[in-house]
């Protein structure tokens, strides 16, 4: 029996299959590219070649696109990222006390005490220091993002970069480049600035205790890991599947959900070949003018999102209930 977890994030869409012992047997890391439906379909198509529908005993979704993905695949559990990340980390190690998670467009800190989330925070209004910013800087410097971390490790003396704001950080980096500092020192300086920004912002007032897990796409950056270790003064653990922790958590939550309900709602890999269309329109029912998105599958409407009053989203009874499935 396999458990499918899907994490639809702003930058990447991750799919994992877990076996009965909750070990990862398959993982896919795809770029969302602004089209969550296509990304999920692409993932399912790859999986379809190796697995049958009957293999999947449960399916869960998480990430900012969790609602749309759940309608698409028929999810047993639809959970927010915080819970999913915490569940996955705790499955790996019961003693983890802090999770630092930096994704494409958000960063969060999760504090765990006695195996349960006791506090968390997410970046409020600023996305400086998240994955997409690092992506952009790597691109600007002409260094593949995968090697960005290795560069940082070569730094002799990291330069000080103003990390408060992404725009200022970038101009400061350009300034330092033009003064002739070497790229390694600048990249490590950037990592340290982002860590400082994270700890002063998201981590403000939070009691960060070991063991610390560093998850999310940015954890692949060795420079960031080193900068966190220097700032915190103890080891920061990057789990093997750090990019996939959200999806792993969703799969575990789905397994739990199915053990209660008895059967999965997973709709099968054939979905990969279905024709999905998302059409948006502005509802003119009231002054709020909600932007409503309608998802059509082979021409039939299967879901509606974005309306405040429920006029559209409540029309189809089989929609994933927002409250009950939280």
Question: Closest approach of Cβ 207 to another protein, in Å?
Answer: 6
Residues touching another protein: how many (CB under 8 A)?
31
3-state secondary structure of 274: coil
Q: Any contact of residue 119 with another protein (CB under 8 A)?
A: yes
Binding span for another protein by CB under 8 A among 38-46, 163-171, 198-206, 270-278:
198-206
DSSP 214-246: EESGGGG-HHHHHHHHHHHSS-EE--TTGGGHH
Asked whether 14 and 7 are in contact (CB, 8 A), the reply is yes
Q: For the window 220-259, what string marks contact with another protein as x by the rule CB under 8 A? A: ----------------------------------------
* Cα–Cα distance measured from residue 256 to residue 325, given in angstroms and rounded to the nearest whole number: 13
List 50, 154, 175, 204, residue binding another protein (CB under 8 A): 204
Among 93, 147, 207, 273, binds another protein (CB under 8 A): 207
Residue 317 lies near another protein (rule: CB under 8 A): no
Q: Does 115 bind another protein (CB under 8 A)?
A: yes
Residue 79 as a binder of another protein (CB under 8 A): the answer is: yes
Q: Does 206 bind another protein (CB under 8 A)?
A: yes
> Largest Cα–Cα distance in the chain?
64
Q: Beta partners for 296?
A: 277, 301
The string of DSSP codes covering 140-170 is: HHT--HHHHHHHHHT-SSPPP---SSHHHHH
CA distances from 198 to 36, 101, 194, 227, 301 (A): 28, 10, 6, 11, 42
Q: Name which of 110 and 138 has its Cβ closer to another protein.
A: 110
38 interacts with another protein by CB under 8 A: no
Contact window for another protein (CB under 8 A) among 94-102, 162-170, 201-209, 237-245:
201-209
- Contact status: 277 vs another protein (CB under 8 A): no
**Should residue 292 be labelled a site residue for another protein when binding is judged by CB under 8 A?**
no
- CB atoms under 10 Å from CB of 13, counted, come to 28
For residue 109, give the nearest of 245, 215, 226 by alpha carbon.
215
Contact criterion met (CB below 8 Å) for 23 and 35: no
Residue 12 as a binder of another protein (CB under 8 A): the answer is no
Q: Which is nearer to another protein, 115 or 144 (CB)?
A: 115
Report if residue 288 touches another protein, rule: CB under 8 A: yes
Handedness of CA 71, 75, 79, 84 (dihedral sign): negative
Q: Is 269 in the site for another protein (CB under 8 A)?
A: no
Residue for token pair 């080193």: 226
- 164 belongs to the binding site for another protein (CB under 8 A): no
Q: What residue ranges bind another protein (CB under 8 A)?
A: 64, 79-83, 106, 113-122, 124-125, 204-207, 286-289, 308, 322-323, 326
């Amino acid at each position: 029996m396999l458990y499918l977890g899907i994490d639809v994030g702003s930058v990447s869409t991750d799919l994992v299959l877990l076996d009965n012992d909750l070990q990862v047997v398959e993982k896919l890391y795809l770029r969302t590219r602004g089209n969550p439906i296509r990304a999920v379909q692409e993932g399912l198509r790859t999986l379809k070649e190796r697995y049958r529908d009957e293999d999947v005993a449960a399916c869960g979704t998480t990430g900012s696109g969790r609602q749309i993905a759940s309608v698409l695949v028929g999810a047993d559990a639809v959970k927010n990222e915080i819970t999913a990340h915490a569940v996955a980390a705790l499955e790996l190690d019961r003693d983890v006390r802090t999770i630092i998670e930096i994704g494409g467009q958000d960063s969060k800190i999760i504090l765990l005490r006695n195996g349960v989330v006791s506090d968390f925070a997410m970046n409020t209004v600023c996305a400086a220091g998240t994955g997409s910013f690092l992506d952009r800087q790597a691109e600007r410097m002409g260094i593949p993002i995968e090697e960005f971390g290795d560069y940082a490790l070569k730094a002799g003396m990291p330069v000080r970069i103003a990390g408060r704001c992404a725009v200022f950080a970038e101009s400061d980096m350009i300034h330092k480049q033009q003064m002739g500092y070497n790229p390694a020192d600048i990249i490590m300086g950037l990592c340290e600035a982002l860590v400082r920004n994270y700890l002063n912002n998201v981590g403000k007032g939070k009691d960060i205790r070991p063991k610390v897990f560093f998850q999310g796409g940015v954890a692949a950056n060795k420079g960031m890991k080193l900068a966190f270790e220097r700032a915190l003064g103890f080891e920061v653990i990057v789990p093997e599947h750090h990019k996939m922790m959200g999806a792993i958590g969703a799969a575990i939550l789905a397994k739990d959900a199915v053990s209660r309900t008895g059967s999965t709602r997973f709709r099968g890999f054939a979905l990969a070949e279905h024709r999905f269309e998302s059409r948006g329109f502005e509802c003119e029912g009231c002054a709020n003018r909600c932007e409503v998105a309608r998802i059509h599958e082979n021409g039939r409407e299967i879901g509606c999102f974005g309306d405040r009053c429920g006029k559209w989203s409540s029309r189809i009874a089989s929609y994933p209930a927002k409250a009950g499935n939280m």
